[in-house]
């Protein structure tokens, strides 16, 4: 269960693009190294991955039985 491992959880399943992206980036602005943000969305957020890569984050994606996708994000260690 990823929710217990994240400081901030964003449920983007009832949000219209680009709101899940905007909220995730805002949340990532507030976390410290070692903390995590969890995004839950209806489908795999491919464009977000490139943004995370460009901005120095690592992530782990997990597909849920109902078809939703959980993306756990944290600061990449330099």
Partner 1 sequence: MQALLSYDQSPPLGAPLRFFLTAPLFGILAGLLLLWSGPEALAARWTPAALALTHLITAGFMLQVMLGALMQILPVLLGANMANPMRVASVVHAEITLGALFLVAAFLSFSPWLFKLAALFSGLGVACFVGSAALALHGIASTNPTTQGLKLALLGLSVTLVLGMLLAVSLGWSLNLPLMLLADIHLGWGFVAWGVVLLAAVGYVVVPMFQLTPAYPGWFARYFSFSALAVLVLWTIAEFNQWVFVSAMLGTALVALVVLFAGVTLSIQRRSKRPRFDATQHLWQFAMLSALAACAVWLAARTFPLFDGWTGWPVLCGVLLLFGGFMSVIVGMLYKIVPFLVWLHLQNLGQGRVMAPNMKKIIAEREMNRQMLAHFASCALLLLAVWWPLWFVYPAGLALLVASGGLLRNLLSALSVHREHRLKIESLICADDLPLT
Chain positions contacting partner 1, by CB under 8 A: 13-14, 16-18, 21, 25-26, 28-29, 42-43, 46-47, 50-51, 54-55, 67
Find the shortest distance in angstroms from Cβ 66 to partner 1. Answer: 10
Find the shortest distance in angstroms from Cβ 54 to partner 1. Answer: 5
Grouping H, G, I as helix, E, B as strand and the rest as coil, residue 57 is: strand
| Cβ density class 55-71: b for 16+ within 10 Å, e for less | eebebeeeeeeeeebbb
Choice between 1 and 66, CB closer to partner 1: 66
């Amino acid at each position: 269960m990823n929710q217990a491992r994240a400081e901030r959880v964003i449920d983007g399943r009832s949000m219209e693009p680009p709101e899940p992206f905007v909220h995730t980036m805002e949340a990532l602005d507030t976390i410290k190294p070692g903390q995590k943000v969890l995004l839950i969305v209806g489908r795999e957020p491919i464009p977000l991955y490139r943004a995370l890569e460009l901005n120095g984050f690592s992530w782990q994606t997990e597909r849920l039985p109902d078809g939703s996708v959980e993306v756990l994000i944290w600061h990449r260690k330099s």
